[in-house]
Amino acid sequence: MSEARELDLPIPPEAARQRADRFVADRSGLSRSFVQRLISEGHLTMGGLIVRASSTLVAGQTLHLVIPPVSETTVLAEDIPLTVVYEDEDIVVVNKPAGLVVHPAPGHATGTLVNALLHHVEDLPGIAGVARPGLVHRLDKDTSGLLIVAKGDVAQLSLMAQLKARRIKKTYLALVQGSVAAELGRIEAPIGRDPNERKRMAVVAGGREATTGYRVRERFPGWTLLEVDLITGRTHQIRVHLTEIGHPIAGDPTYGNGTSRRGPDATTRLFLHAWKIVFAHPRDGRLMRLEAELPADLQAPLDALRLHSSRGSFLPVSIHHPCNTW
């Protein structure tokens, strides 16, 4: 267990009459919910007196915040192989394999990405007072590719703010059924629970706003390889949107039809891979551009399509666009 930390936060004139919890969160880099928890436990004082979250501040005074030692997480660390694409003191970016659940949940208490990260990352600063990695975003179990993980509160707060402002660009590779007519496009359709099957998502009136951009990367007879920009981040968004426009993803057992579920030769799972991610580093703001090549199990159906095309009258066409749909 780490040692307690103490912060002295002088109150400048421009902060006068602000709420205590908002001021402390802004100045400390801690999440507001964590600050509110610390305040409720009596860890924020001014002149020796306990300060409430809703207290208004007086310029010239100094707040004193005690951050208790980081407690141990109840999640078990497990020696699960991880492919780390980038790591420093603030963040770790991993290339998640398909089949790995991201976070422990009922039915998946062990064998998850979080279990693996707890084994891999030593001396976690902790998130909200607990020694655990901070998941900034998630990938479905059957989707492979890049995931950013924050090691501490400050990094997570910065990355979550970027995510909310849509400043983290996430680009996927998806092989879809059929010939997509437009070379690039944008899908704007609200997503919510499928009223006829609650375990599925669907485009529904009154659903949450959802936007997906795409560009054609390569064409094959009967199939199209797309670069897909996830502009919002709804559950199963890419799968739902591409199905909605008549081009379900190869190997998708939930949203596909008979042909797309089977996929082309050598398809063994959902052809969806988080290929590229661009964001500002939470500590110094430098632009991070990271990529993860297609894994072998997704490269195989592409190779089969290219081989089939070269033997027939069709040749695959690779298309690169200088612009994007953002």
Active site residues: 140
Nearest-angstrom CA–CA distance, 21 and 15: 12
- Measure CA 231 to chain center: 12
CB atoms within 10 A of CB 122: 6
CB atoms within 10 A of CB 190: 14
Residue 214 neighbours by CB under 8 Å, 6+ apart: 180, 184, 185, 186, 187, 226, 227, 228, 229, 242, 325
Residue 115 neighbours by CB under 8 Å, 6+ apart: 75, 76, 77, 78, 80, 104
Tell me the C-alpha to C-alpha distance, in Å, between residue 269 and each of 169, 221, 238, 257, 264.
25, 20, 16, 14, 11
Nearest-angstrom CA–CA distance, 37 and 43: 9
Q: Report residue 171: phi and psi, to 5°.
A: -120, 130
In sequence order, what DSSP letters do the residues of 130-155 get, joined into one string?
BS--EESS---TT-EEEEEEESBHHH
Nearest-angstrom CA–CA distance, 162 and 168: 6
Residue 171 neighbours by CB under 8 Å, 6+ apart: 227, 228, 229, 230, 274, 275, 276, 277
